[in-house]
Chains A and B, each alone.
Chain A
């Protein structure tokens, strides 16, 4: 089955810096890659997603890149703000099987 690895487990940056979180997946049939932000005790919130027919997607300060050959995808956050502090999860899905497999999470701390 699918296995998703995520790095780093914790990431501390200064406000205004960029943050990059990386994930690798094992199943070449995976074709949907969402990123979620989760605050303590809350539900995961979808912040951006990418499908396998696209190499990059951007939404304001957030971007995701996908390298299908290497089977890895990354989340890029620019101009970080303290409110970006949260746990971020990547996930991968083969829509034929529907289920999402989550990475282990990255705790991002943005210091003012």
Chain B
């Protein structure tokens, strides 16, 4: 149990366009989902915390109008990178928790975004 999927696994887009990434918990309900960004040979940096039915909480320095997060159901959160630029090229990973009392986060397989 506790499987998290992401779609797409890889995406290439042109500068100025928007890209949507989906994160799904397949066999459990996730009250909280997290979005991370990981640049090559770097650590995972939390971008935002997404709670079902409420607005996401963004980390300092992350533009909420550029990285739109929607957590519309207990099994789906989406991250939309708007007006993408080459510097947004990165590995985006989501994770999900079963509930507020749960310690463990279950990670998705990641989405490799390349902006040309």
Q: What residues make up the interface of A, taking CB atoms closer than 8 Å to B? A: 32, 34, 41-46, 49, 51, 89, 93, 95, 98-105
Known: A43-B110, A99-B34. A51 touches B44 (CB 8 A): no
Interface size for B (C-beta < 8 A) is: 21
| B75-116 residues at the A interface, CB under 8 angstroms | 91, 93, 95, 97, 100, 103-105, 107-110, 112
Q: What residues make up the interface of B, taking CB atoms closer than 8 Å to A? A: 32, 34, 42-46, 49, 91, 93, 95, 97, 100, 103-105, 107-110, 112
CB distance from A34 to the nearest CB of B (A): 7
Report 10 cross-chain contacts, Cβ distance below 8 Å, ordered by A residue: A34-B103, A34-B104, A41-B110, A42-B110, A43-B108, A43-B110, A44-B93, A95-B103, A99-B34, A100-B105
Q: Which residue among B44, B91, B109 has the maximum number of chain A CB atoms within 10 Å of its CB?
A: B44
Q: A34-B104, A49-B104 are in contact. List 19 more A-B contacts (CB 8 A).
A: A32-B103, A42-B110, A43-B93, A43-B107, A43-B108, A43-B109, A43-B110, A51-B103, A89-B43, A89-B44, A95-B103, A98-B49, A98-B97, A99-B34, A99-B49, A100-B46, A101-B46, A102-B45, A103-B43
What residues on A are CB-neighbors of B42 within 8 Å? 104-105
A102 and B43 contacting across the interface, CB-CB below 8 Å? yes
Once the chains are docked, how many angstroms separate the CA of A41 from the CA of B110? 8
Once the chains are docked, how many angstroms separate the CA of A89 from the CA of B97? 19
Once the chains are docked, how many angstroms separate the CA of A98 from the CA of B44? 16
Once the chains are docked, how many angstroms separate the CA of A103 from the CA of B43? 7
Known: A101-B46, A102-B44. A41 touches B100 (CB 8 A): no
B103 and A93 contacting across the interface, CB-CB below 8 Å? yes
